[in-house]
Amino acid sequence: MTNPNHPFLAACRREKTPYTPVWLMRQAGRYMKEYRKLRAEFSFLDLCKRPDLAAEITVTPVERLGVDAAILFADILLLLEPMGVPLEYTKDDGPVISHPVRTGADVDRLKELDPDRSLPFVFEAVRKSRAALNGKVPLIGFAGAPFTLASYLIEGGGSRSYIHTKRLMYSDPGAWRNLMERLSRAVVQYLNAQITAGAQAVQIFDSWVGCMSPEDYQKYVSPHMSATISGLTDGIPVIHFSTGTAGLLRLIRAAGGDIIGVDWRVNLDEAWQQLGYDVGIQGNLDPAALLAPLDEIRGKVGEILRRAGGRPGHIFNLGHGVLPDTPVEHVIAMVQAVHELSAR
């Protein structure tokens, strides 16, 4: 049993904590030799589908880094395969969808997700991770947000301009709505099943929604994000994460979430002021700052904590995932700096 007053869970409720809790997106990843060793033997998808290994990868950084939460090792695109969209990963773990969704007919062919039937290994990994964590720190579950999932489905992988996504949105708003509603239902099912299996908080990654104008966000994204968040099991904190959204913060906050994740391209104090203090905030160190010398990292940690002002409801994190070239010792030093400099 995790203590419900664990600093991470308390911060999610915007309660005072003895120090600012910290975890990192992709804290289990290629920058860590334990992970690279497993990846040399198993493919990325194999690791996701082997609950014993996924749990091991989930738990390792908690021991190694001293972070205040574990995040399930999985991938935001796992739910696409059972929806009828096969995908592959390149050797850099980048996703490729060889038959992208481009038309209303493509959308209609998508299957409804039955997560318990098609993704049992994810929930087994949740249970095994909880058992291995043994109450030490809470476990965060996660999923991609409908927009970010849609953009992968439509573009067939990563993108710079999201041309196909926006073209579908503008030229066939009915197909777009249909797609977003299907994805929203799938995400709700999937996250609620993670919660049932033992996830104590969830993060929804709308990683690529920063490509949208505020007007388009409001029209094409916000209703589906609201529906997703309000479909989740009550009482479990929801972190609503995105990047490149300094101009969208008010709309993102309005779409929902207990904690809003912001990236480094906005000052944390200005972001929180825009979001309002009735919501928590997560962030916001530049992942590239972990390539800097240790004293520079410590300085940047201090600056972010200063901007957070000791206000309850701040969870320290990077503004996006740990970069593959990051030295592990720099991550450890960053976590220590957060704990030391925020100690109250």
- What is the total count of residues that contact a copy of itself (CB under 8 A)? 37
Q: Is the dihedral of CA 266, 272, 273, 279 positive or negative?
A: positive
109 is catalytic: no
278 is catalytic: no
Q: Is the dihedral of CA 285, 208, 70, 68 positive or negative?
A: positive
Q: Which amino acid is at 71?
A: I
Are the C-beta atoms of 259 and 270 separated by less than 8 Å? no
Q: Which is nearer to a copy of itself, 85 or 285 (CB)?
A: 285
**Sites for a copy of itself among residues 264-283 (CB under 8 A):** 264-267, 270-271
Residue whose pair of structure tokens reads 């916001």 in the numeric block: 284
116 is catalytic: no
Alpha-carbon distance 254 to 279, whole Å? 10
Site for a copy of itself contains 286 (CB under 8 A):
yes
30 is catalytic: yes
3-state helix, strand, coil in the chain (%, to 5): 50, 10, 40
Question: 188 to each of 89, 99, 192, 222, 224, how far by Cα in Å?
Answer: 25, 25, 6, 15, 11
39 is catalytic: yes
Nearest-approach distance from CB 207 to a copy of itself, in angstroms: 12
Alpha-carbon distance 259 to 292, whole Å? 28
Which of 31, 152, 162, 217 is catalytic? The answer is: 152
Site for a copy of itself contains 166 (CB under 8 A):
yes
Site for a copy of itself contains 248 (CB under 8 A):
yes
Site for a copy of itself contains 289 (CB under 8 A):
yes
Name the segment binding a copy of itself (CB under 8 A); options: 73-81, 110-118, 177-185, 262-270.
262-270
Site for a copy of itself contains 152 (CB under 8 A):
no
Site for a copy of itself contains 306 (CB under 8 A):
no
Are the C-beta atoms of 86 and 102 separated by less than 8 Å? no
Residues annotated as part of the active site: 26, 30, 39, 75, 152
Binding site for a copy of itself (CB under 8 A): 161-163, 166-167, 170-171, 210-216, 244-248, 264-267, 270-271, 286-289, 291-293, 296, 300, 303, 323, 325
